Chains A and B, each alone.
Chain A
Amino acid sequence: MDSASNLALLMARYQQGDSAAAADLIRSLSPPLHRFFLMQYVSRRHADDLLQETWLRIHEVRHTYRRGQPVLPWLYAIARHVRVDHYRKTHRAESREERLEESFDVAQPAREGPPGTPDLERLLASLPESQREVIVMLKVSEMSLEEVARATASSVGSVKQKAHRAYETLRRGLATMLAPGAPSRGSA
Protein backbone atom coordinates (compact mmCIF):
# COMPACT_ATOMS: atom_id res chain seq x y z
CA MET A 1 0.00 0.00 0.00
CA ASP A 2 1.45 3.39 -0.93
CA SER A 3 1.84 6.30 1.46
CA ALA A 4 -1.11 8.30 0.09
CA SER A 5 -3.63 5.49 0.43
CA ASN A 6 -2.23 4.64 3.85
CA LEU A 7 -2.84 8.24 4.96
CA ALA A 8 -6.36 8.15 3.50
CA LEU A 9 -7.05 4.93 5.40
CA LEU A 10 -5.73 6.40 8.67
CA MET A 11 -7.84 9.53 8.12
CA ALA A 12 -10.97 7.44 7.53
CA ARG A 13 -10.29 5.49 10.74
CA TYR A 14 -9.65 8.76 12.61
CA GLN A 15 -13.09 9.98 11.47
CA GLN A 16 -14.57 6.77 12.85
CA GLY A 17 -13.08 7.57 16.26
CA ASP A 18 -10.00 5.33 16.16
CA SER A 19 -7.55 7.00 18.55
CA ALA A 20 -4.62 4.81 17.42
CA ALA A 21 -5.15 5.99 13.82
CA ALA A 22 -5.23 9.61 15.02
CA ALA A 23 -1.96 9.10 16.88
CA ASP A 24 -0.35 7.40 13.84
CA LEU A 25 -1.47 10.24 11.62
CA ILE A 26 -0.03 12.84 14.00
CA ARG A 27 3.27 10.96 14.28
CA SER A 28 3.69 10.57 10.53
CA LEU A 29 2.55 14.04 9.45
CA SER A 30 3.94 16.28 12.20
CA PRO A 31 7.58 16.28 10.98
CA PRO A 32 6.76 17.50 7.42
CA LEU A 33 4.23 19.99 8.76
CA HIS A 34 6.77 21.36 11.23
CA ARG A 35 9.32 21.63 8.41
CA PHE A 36 6.71 23.42 6.28
CA PHE A 37 6.26 26.05 8.99
CA LEU A 38 10.00 26.40 9.67
CA MET A 39 10.70 26.95 5.99
CA GLN A 40 8.20 29.80 5.95
CA TYR A 41 10.59 31.67 8.24
CA VAL A 42 8.94 31.47 11.58
CA SER A 43 10.88 30.79 14.76
CA ARG A 44 11.12 27.32 16.26
CA ARG A 45 8.74 28.31 19.07
CA HIS A 46 6.21 29.68 16.60
CA ALA A 47 6.54 26.56 14.43
CA ASP A 48 5.71 24.44 17.50
CA ASP A 49 2.71 26.65 18.25
CA LEU A 50 1.54 26.49 14.64
CA LEU A 51 1.86 22.72 14.62
CA GLN A 52 -0.30 22.42 17.74
CA GLU A 53 -2.81 24.92 16.40
CA THR A 54 -3.00 23.03 13.10
CA TRP A 55 -3.72 19.71 14.77
CA LEU A 56 -6.38 21.28 16.99
CA ARG A 57 -8.01 22.81 13.90
CA ILE A 58 -7.75 19.51 12.04
CA HIS A 59 -9.41 17.78 14.97
CA GLU A 60 -12.26 20.31 14.96
CA VAL A 61 -12.92 20.02 11.22
CA ARG A 62 -11.96 16.38 10.61
CA HIS A 63 -15.46 15.71 9.32
CA THR A 64 -14.68 17.92 6.27
CA TYR A 65 -12.20 15.34 4.94
CA ARG A 66 -13.86 13.32 2.20
CA ARG A 67 -13.01 9.66 2.02
CA GLY A 68 -11.09 8.67 -1.07
CA GLN A 69 -9.68 12.16 -1.56
CA PRO A 70 -5.95 12.86 -1.06
CA VAL A 71 -5.14 13.78 2.56
CA LEU A 72 -2.18 16.09 1.99
CA PRO A 73 -4.01 18.91 0.12
CA TRP A 74 -6.72 18.92 2.80
CA LEU A 75 -4.12 18.99 5.58
CA TYR A 76 -1.90 21.64 4.00
CA ALA A 77 -4.88 23.85 3.14
CA ILE A 78 -5.71 23.91 6.87
CA ALA A 79 -2.04 24.44 7.79
CA ARG A 80 -1.86 27.42 5.41
CA HIS A 81 -5.02 28.84 6.96
CA VAL A 82 -3.55 28.48 10.46
CA ARG A 83 -0.32 30.16 9.31
CA VAL A 84 -2.17 33.09 7.72
CA ASP A 85 -4.34 33.43 10.83
CA HIS A 86 -1.23 33.38 13.01
CA TYR A 87 0.45 35.99 10.81
CA ARG A 88 -2.58 38.29 11.09
CA LYS A 89 -2.73 37.86 14.86
CA THR A 90 0.99 38.51 15.25
CA HIS A 91 0.79 41.51 12.95
CA ARG A 92 -2.16 42.92 14.91
CA ALA A 93 -0.41 42.35 18.23
CA GLU A 94 2.83 43.85 16.97
CA SER A 95 1.07 46.97 15.78
CA ARG A 96 -0.28 47.45 19.33
CA GLU A 97 2.74 46.47 21.35
CA GLU A 98 6.31 47.61 21.43
CA ARG A 99 8.50 45.16 19.60
CA LEU A 100 10.89 44.58 22.47
CA GLU A 101 11.86 41.04 21.70
CA GLU A 102 11.70 41.15 17.95
CA SER A 103 15.25 40.16 17.23
CA PHE A 104 15.20 37.45 19.86
CA ASP A 105 11.85 35.87 19.11
CA VAL A 106 11.06 36.22 15.44
CA ALA A 107 14.44 35.76 13.88
CA GLN A 108 15.23 32.29 12.59
CA PRO A 109 17.95 30.63 14.62
CA ALA A 110 21.17 30.48 12.67
CA ARG A 111 21.94 27.03 11.30
CA GLU A 112 25.38 26.06 10.27
CA GLY A 113 25.81 24.16 7.05
CA PRO A 114 28.94 22.49 5.78
CA PRO A 115 31.57 25.01 4.67
CA GLY A 116 31.23 26.03 1.04
CA THR A 117 27.52 25.20 0.69
CA PRO A 118 25.39 28.03 -0.66
CA ASP A 119 23.17 29.76 1.87
CA LEU A 120 19.95 28.41 0.45
CA GLU A 121 17.89 29.80 3.33
CA ARG A 122 18.88 33.31 2.32
CA LEU A 123 17.95 32.52 -1.27
CA LEU A 124 14.60 31.02 -0.29
CA ALA A 125 13.92 34.09 1.84
CA SER A 126 14.34 36.23 -1.26
CA LEU A 127 11.42 34.44 -2.98
CA PRO A 128 7.92 35.88 -2.73
CA GLU A 129 5.90 34.00 -0.12
CA SER A 130 3.57 32.36 -2.66
CA GLN A 131 6.54 30.96 -4.64
CA ARG A 132 8.39 29.80 -1.52
CA GLU A 133 5.29 28.00 -0.29
CA VAL A 134 4.87 26.20 -3.62
CA ILE A 135 8.54 25.18 -3.68
CA VAL A 136 8.39 23.86 -0.11
CA MET A 137 5.26 21.82 -0.83
CA LEU A 138 6.61 20.44 -4.12
CA LYS A 139 10.21 19.73 -3.20
CA VAL A 140 10.27 19.34 0.56
CA SER A 141 6.85 17.85 1.28
CA GLU A 142 7.03 16.02 -2.09
CA MET A 143 3.45 16.77 -3.10
CA SER A 144 2.32 16.54 -6.73
CA LEU A 145 1.38 19.61 -8.80
CA GLU A 146 -2.29 18.68 -8.51
CA GLU A 147 -2.03 18.33 -4.72
CA VAL A 148 -0.28 21.70 -4.37
CA ALA A 149 -2.92 23.30 -6.60
CA ARG A 150 -5.66 21.93 -4.35
CA ALA A 151 -3.89 22.97 -1.14
CA THR A 152 -3.31 26.52 -2.39
CA ALA A 153 -6.73 26.85 -4.08
CA SER A 154 -5.15 27.63 -7.42
CA SER A 155 -4.76 25.93 -10.78
CA VAL A 156 -2.04 23.48 -11.79
CA GLY A 157 -0.88 26.02 -14.40
CA SER A 158 -0.47 28.69 -11.75
CA VAL A 159 1.53 26.29 -9.52
CA LYS A 160 3.79 25.39 -12.47
CA GLN A 161 4.34 29.06 -13.23
CA LYS A 162 5.21 29.89 -9.62
CA ALA A 163 7.62 26.94 -9.42
CA HIS A 164 9.24 27.94 -12.71
CA ARG A 165 9.72 31.54 -11.57
CA ALA A 166 11.07 30.40 -8.21
CA TYR A 167 13.59 28.12 -9.94
CA GLU A 168 14.71 30.96 -12.19
CA THR A 169 15.34 33.15 -9.13
CA LEU A 170 17.11 30.34 -7.27
CA ARG A 171 19.24 29.53 -10.33
CA ARG A 172 20.33 33.16 -10.70
CA GLY A 173 21.07 33.49 -6.99
CA LEU A 174 23.00 30.23 -6.86
CA ALA A 175 25.02 31.19 -9.93
CA THR A 176 26.04 34.41 -8.17
CA MET A 177 26.84 32.60 -4.93
CA LEU A 178 28.84 29.81 -6.56
CA ALA A 179 30.77 32.14 -8.85
CA PRO A 180 34.55 32.10 -8.16
CA GLY A 181 35.42 34.77 -5.61
CA ALA A 182 31.90 34.91 -4.15
CA PRO A 183 31.87 34.64 -0.34
CA SER A 184 30.63 31.21 0.76
CA ARG A 185 28.87 30.28 3.97
CA GLY A 186 31.91 28.64 5.50
CA SER A 187 34.33 31.39 4.64
CA ALA A 188 32.73 34.01 6.84
Chain B
Amino acid sequence: MRDPEIDNLLKRAAGAQPQVDPALVDRLAQSIGASAAPVRPLAPAWILSGGLVMLCAVLAVAGAALLGFHGLRKMSALEVAAIFPVLAVLLGMAAAVCAAEMVPGSRRPVAPWALGVAGCLLLAAVFGLLFHDYRTERFVPQGMACLVAGLAQAVPAWAAAWWVLRRGFAVNSLAAGFARGALAGLAGVAMLELHCPNFETLHVIVWHIAVLPVSGALGLLAAAVSGSVRAGRRAAP
Protein backbone atom coordinates (compact mmCIF):
# COMPACT_ATOMS: atom_id res chain seq x y z
CA MET B 1 0.00 0.00 0.00
CA ARG B 2 1.39 3.44 -1.00
CA ASP B 3 1.67 6.52 1.22
CA PRO B 4 -1.15 8.52 -0.46
CA GLU B 5 -3.51 5.58 0.12
CA ILE B 6 -2.58 5.51 3.80
CA ASP B 7 -3.08 9.31 3.92
CA ASN B 8 -6.52 8.81 2.47
CA LEU B 9 -7.41 6.15 5.03
CA LEU B 10 -6.22 8.38 7.87
CA LYS B 11 -8.38 11.25 6.62
CA ARG B 12 -11.37 8.91 6.45
CA ALA B 13 -10.68 7.68 9.99
CA ALA B 14 -10.51 11.29 11.20
CA GLY B 15 -13.76 12.07 9.40
CA ALA B 16 -15.44 9.14 11.16
CA GLN B 17 -14.71 10.69 14.58
CA PRO B 18 -17.74 12.15 16.34
CA GLN B 19 -17.96 15.92 15.89
CA VAL B 20 -17.48 18.30 18.77
CA ASP B 21 -20.74 19.37 20.38
CA PRO B 22 -21.63 22.82 18.91
CA ALA B 23 -23.25 23.79 22.23
CA LEU B 24 -19.93 23.18 24.00
CA VAL B 25 -18.08 25.34 21.46
CA ASP B 26 -20.65 28.11 21.83
CA ARG B 27 -20.37 27.97 25.60
CA LEU B 28 -16.57 28.18 25.39
CA ALA B 29 -16.70 31.02 22.88
CA GLN B 30 -19.10 32.99 25.09
CA SER B 31 -17.29 32.48 28.38
CA ILE B 32 -13.79 33.11 27.01
CA GLY B 33 -14.92 35.91 24.72
CA ALA B 34 -16.54 37.65 27.69
CA SER B 35 -13.26 37.73 29.61
CA ALA B 36 -10.92 38.56 26.71
CA ALA B 37 -9.12 41.52 28.29
CA PRO B 38 -6.05 42.93 26.48
CA VAL B 39 -2.73 41.37 27.47
CA ARG B 40 0.86 42.47 26.96
CA PRO B 41 2.62 39.87 24.78
CA LEU B 42 5.94 38.44 25.93
CA ALA B 43 9.05 40.28 24.80
CA PRO B 44 10.72 38.92 21.63
CA ALA B 45 13.03 35.94 22.07
CA TRP B 46 16.21 37.94 21.40
CA ILE B 47 15.35 40.42 24.16
CA LEU B 48 14.71 37.63 26.68
CA SER B 49 17.88 35.75 25.69
CA GLY B 50 19.98 38.92 25.61
CA GLY B 51 18.63 39.96 29.02
CA LEU B 52 19.49 36.55 30.47
CA VAL B 53 23.05 36.61 29.09
CA MET B 54 23.61 40.15 30.38
CA LEU B 55 22.29 39.34 33.84
CA CYS B 56 24.36 36.14 34.12
CA ALA B 57 27.52 37.94 32.93
CA VAL B 58 26.98 40.83 35.35
CA LEU B 59 26.35 38.43 38.24
CA ALA B 60 29.45 36.35 37.39
CA VAL B 61 31.64 39.48 37.26
CA ALA B 62 30.09 40.79 40.50
CA GLY B 63 30.69 37.44 42.22
CA ALA B 64 34.32 37.36 41.04
CA ALA B 65 34.79 40.99 42.09
CA LEU B 66 33.61 40.04 45.55
CA LEU B 67 36.01 37.08 45.80
CA GLY B 68 38.85 38.58 43.75
CA PHE B 69 39.90 38.23 40.08
CA HIS B 70 42.80 35.90 40.94
CA GLY B 71 42.12 33.49 38.08
CA LEU B 72 41.83 36.20 35.44
CA ARG B 73 45.12 37.82 36.61
CA LYS B 74 46.94 34.49 36.36
CA MET B 75 45.61 33.64 32.89
CA SER B 76 47.58 34.18 29.69
CA ALA B 77 46.02 36.16 26.83
CA LEU B 78 45.51 32.90 24.92
CA GLU B 79 43.68 31.35 27.86
CA VAL B 80 41.43 34.41 28.23
CA ALA B 81 40.80 34.46 24.45
CA ALA B 82 39.88 30.76 24.42
CA ILE B 83 37.87 30.33 27.63
CA PHE B 84 35.61 33.38 27.80
CA PRO B 85 34.30 33.36 24.21
CA VAL B 86 33.41 29.67 24.65
CA LEU B 87 31.61 30.51 27.89
CA ALA B 88 29.85 33.42 26.17
CA VAL B 89 28.65 31.17 23.34
CA LEU B 90 27.43 28.53 25.82
CA LEU B 91 25.67 31.22 27.89
CA GLY B 92 24.00 32.55 24.76
CA MET B 93 22.80 29.10 23.73
CA ALA B 94 21.61 28.26 27.25
CA ALA B 95 19.74 31.57 27.40
CA ALA B 96 18.09 30.87 24.03
CA VAL B 97 17.07 27.39 25.19
CA CYS B 98 15.73 28.79 28.49
CA ALA B 99 13.64 31.40 26.67
CA ALA B 100 12.37 28.82 24.15
CA GLU B 101 11.30 26.47 26.95
CA MET B 102 9.05 29.18 28.38
CA VAL B 103 7.21 29.88 25.12
CA PRO B 104 4.98 27.01 23.89
CA GLY B 105 5.64 25.89 20.34
CA SER B 106 8.83 27.88 19.86
CA ARG B 107 11.77 26.62 17.83
CA ARG B 108 14.36 25.10 20.16
CA PRO B 109 17.97 25.55 19.08
CA VAL B 110 18.95 22.38 20.98
CA ALA B 111 17.43 20.15 23.69
CA PRO B 112 18.42 21.28 27.21
CA TRP B 113 19.93 17.87 28.04
CA ALA B 114 22.01 17.91 24.87
CA LEU B 115 23.19 21.43 25.69
CA GLY B 116 24.26 20.28 29.17
CA VAL B 117 26.28 17.35 27.80
CA ALA B 118 27.76 19.37 24.91
CA GLY B 119 28.66 22.21 27.28
CA CYS B 120 30.51 19.88 29.64
CA LEU B 121 32.39 18.19 26.79
CA LEU B 122 33.31 21.48 25.11
CA LEU B 123 34.58 23.02 28.34
CA ALA B 124 36.52 19.83 29.17
CA ALA B 125 38.15 19.94 25.72
CA VAL B 126 39.10 23.63 26.08
CA PHE B 127 40.46 23.18 29.63
CA GLY B 128 42.28 20.00 28.60
CA LEU B 129 43.98 21.80 25.72
CA LEU B 130 44.94 24.88 27.74
CA PHE B 131 45.99 23.55 31.15
CA HIS B 132 48.82 21.04 31.51
CA ASP B 133 49.45 20.92 35.24
CA TYR B 134 48.54 17.34 36.11
CA ARG B 135 49.16 17.55 39.86
CA THR B 136 46.21 16.91 42.17
CA GLU B 137 47.12 18.68 45.40
CA ARG B 138 44.29 18.82 47.94
CA PHE B 139 42.06 17.67 45.13
CA VAL B 140 38.83 17.16 47.10
CA PRO B 141 38.95 20.04 49.62
CA GLN B 142 39.92 22.62 47.00
CA GLY B 143 37.48 21.13 44.55
CA MET B 144 34.60 21.18 47.02
CA ALA B 145 35.34 24.84 47.82
CA CYS B 146 35.10 25.69 44.11
CA LEU B 147 31.95 23.61 43.61
CA VAL B 148 30.23 25.30 46.55
CA ALA B 149 31.33 28.78 45.38
CA GLY B 150 30.11 28.03 41.84
CA LEU B 151 26.75 26.77 43.08
CA ALA B 152 26.40 29.74 45.43
CA GLN B 153 26.95 31.96 42.38
CA ALA B 154 24.33 29.97 40.47
CA VAL B 155 21.61 30.81 43.01
CA PRO B 156 21.25 34.52 42.15
CA ALA B 157 21.65 33.69 38.44
CA TRP B 158 18.81 31.15 38.77
CA ALA B 159 16.66 33.74 40.57
CA ALA B 160 17.43 36.33 37.87
CA ALA B 161 16.49 33.86 35.12
CA TRP B 162 13.26 33.06 36.94
CA TRP B 163 12.46 36.78 37.17
CA VAL B 164 13.16 37.45 33.48
CA LEU B 165 11.04 34.48 32.37
CA ARG B 166 8.34 34.67 35.05
CA ARG B 167 5.56 35.47 32.54
CA GLY B 168 6.40 32.49 30.34
CA PHE B 169 4.66 29.14 30.37
CA ALA B 170 6.64 25.90 30.35
CA VAL B 171 4.86 23.02 28.65
CA ASN B 172 7.70 20.78 29.86
CA SER B 173 8.52 22.06 33.33
CA LEU B 174 11.37 19.55 33.86
CA ALA B 175 13.17 20.58 30.68
CA ALA B 176 12.63 24.25 31.57
CA GLY B 177 13.94 23.64 35.10
CA PHE B 178 17.05 21.87 33.81
CA ALA B 179 17.70 24.61 31.24
CA ARG B 180 17.42 27.33 33.87
CA GLY B 181 19.68 25.39 36.24
CA ALA B 182 22.25 24.84 33.47
CA LEU B 183 22.22 28.55 32.58
CA ALA B 184 22.76 29.46 36.23
CA GLY B 185 25.51 26.82 36.43
CA LEU B 186 27.29 28.41 33.46
CA ALA B 187 27.24 31.73 35.34
CA GLY B 188 28.87 29.83 38.23
CA VAL B 189 31.55 28.37 35.91
CA ALA B 190 32.25 31.85 34.49
CA MET B 191 32.69 33.26 37.99
CA LEU B 192 35.10 30.40 38.90
CA GLU B 193 37.20 31.05 35.79
CA LEU B 194 37.51 34.70 36.79
CA HIS B 195 38.22 33.92 40.42
CA CYS B 196 39.98 30.55 40.88
CA PRO B 197 43.79 30.64 40.47
CA ASN B 198 44.11 26.83 40.66
CA PHE B 199 44.94 25.75 37.10
CA GLU B 200 45.53 22.07 37.81
CA THR B 201 43.99 20.29 34.84
CA LEU B 202 41.92 17.80 36.83
CA HIS B 203 40.74 20.43 39.30
CA VAL B 204 39.43 22.66 36.53
CA ILE B 205 37.95 19.81 34.47
CA VAL B 206 36.28 18.00 37.36
CA TRP B 207 35.24 20.63 39.87
CA HIS B 208 34.66 23.74 37.76
CA ILE B 209 32.70 21.91 35.10
CA ALA B 210 30.75 19.98 37.76
CA VAL B 211 28.90 23.21 38.60
CA LEU B 212 27.05 22.98 35.27
CA PRO B 213 25.46 19.49 35.62
CA VAL B 214 24.94 19.81 39.39
CA SER B 215 23.17 23.14 38.95
CA GLY B 216 21.14 21.69 36.07
CA ALA B 217 20.13 18.73 38.24
CA LEU B 218 19.15 21.07 41.08
CA GLY B 219 17.05 23.11 38.63
CA LEU B 220 15.37 19.89 37.50
CA LEU B 221 14.71 18.89 41.10
CA ALA B 222 13.27 22.34 41.92
CA ALA B 223 10.94 22.06 38.90
CA ALA B 224 9.85 18.55 39.90
CA VAL B 225 9.15 19.61 43.49
CA SER B 226 7.22 22.75 42.48
CA GLY B 227 5.30 20.70 39.90
CA SER B 228 4.21 18.13 42.46
CA VAL B 229 3.29 20.86 44.96
CA ARG B 230 1.13 22.54 42.27
CA ALA B 231 -0.44 19.19 41.37
CA GLY B 232 -1.18 18.53 45.04
CA ARG B 233 -2.81 21.96 45.40
CA ARG B 234 -4.97 21.35 42.32
CA ALA B 235 -5.99 17.90 43.61
CA ALA B 236 -6.92 19.29 47.06
CA PRO B 237 -10.67 19.76 47.49
Residues of A within 8 A of B167 (CB): 63-64
Does chain A have a CB within 8 A of B103? yes
Residues of A within 8 A of B168 (CB): 64
Residues of A within 8 A of B36 (CB): 14, 17-19, 21-22, 59
Q: Establish whether residues B169 and A31, one from each chain, have CB atoms under 8 Å apart when the complex forms.
A: no
Query: Which residue from A17, A34, A109, A117 sits with its C-beta under 8 Å from B38?
Result: A17
A-B contact count (CB 8 A): 163
Q: Establish whether residues A75 and B10, one from each chain, have CB atoms under 8 Å apart when the complex forms.
A: no
What are the interface flags for B194-228 relative to A under an 8 Å C-beta threshold, 1 for contact and 0 otherwise?
A: 00000000000000000000000000000000000
What separation, in Å, do the CA atoms of A149 and B13 have in the docked complex? 23
A111 to chain B, nearest CB (A): 6
Does chain B have a CB within 8 A of A66? yes
Residues of A within 8 A of B13 (CB): 39, 120-121, 124
Residues of A within 8 A of B235 (CB): 89, 92
Q: Establish whether residues B11 and A140, one from each chain, have CB atoms under 8 Å apart when the complex forms.
A: yes
Q: Establish whether residues A175 and B175, one from each chain, have CB atoms under 8 Å apart when the complex forms.
A: no
Interface size class of B (residues with CB under 8 A): 35 or more
Q: Establish whether residues B14 and A23, one from each chain, have CB atoms under 8 Å apart when the complex forms.
A: no
Task: For the complex, count residues of A whose C-beta is within 8 A of B.
Answer: 70
A66-B19 contact in complex given A26-B32, A61-B169, A140-B14, C-beta closer than 8 Å: no
Scan residues 1-58 of chain B and give those whose CB is less than 8 A from a CB of chain A: 1, 3, 6-7, 9-14, 16-21, 24-25, 28-30, 32-42, 44-45
B102 to chain A, nearest CB (A): 7
Residues of A within 8 A of B138 (CB): none
What separation, in Å, do the CA atoms of A34 and B42 have in the docked complex? 28
Q: Establish whether residues B33 and A23, one from each chain, have CB atoms under 8 Å apart when the complex forms.
A: yes
Does chain A have a CB within 8 A of B108? yes
Q: Establish whether residues A23 and B29, one from each chain, have CB atoms under 8 Å apart when the complex forms.
A: yes
A67-B108 contact in complex given A35-B14, A52-B24, C-beta closer than 8 Å: no
Q: List 21 A-B contacts (CB under 8 A).
A: A17-B38, A18-B36, A19-B33, A19-B34, A20-B33, A26-B32, A26-B33, A31-B20, A35-B17, A39-B14, A51-B20, A52-B28, A63-B40, A63-B167, A74-B103, A74-B106, A78-B105, A89-B231, A89-B235, A124-B13, A140-B10
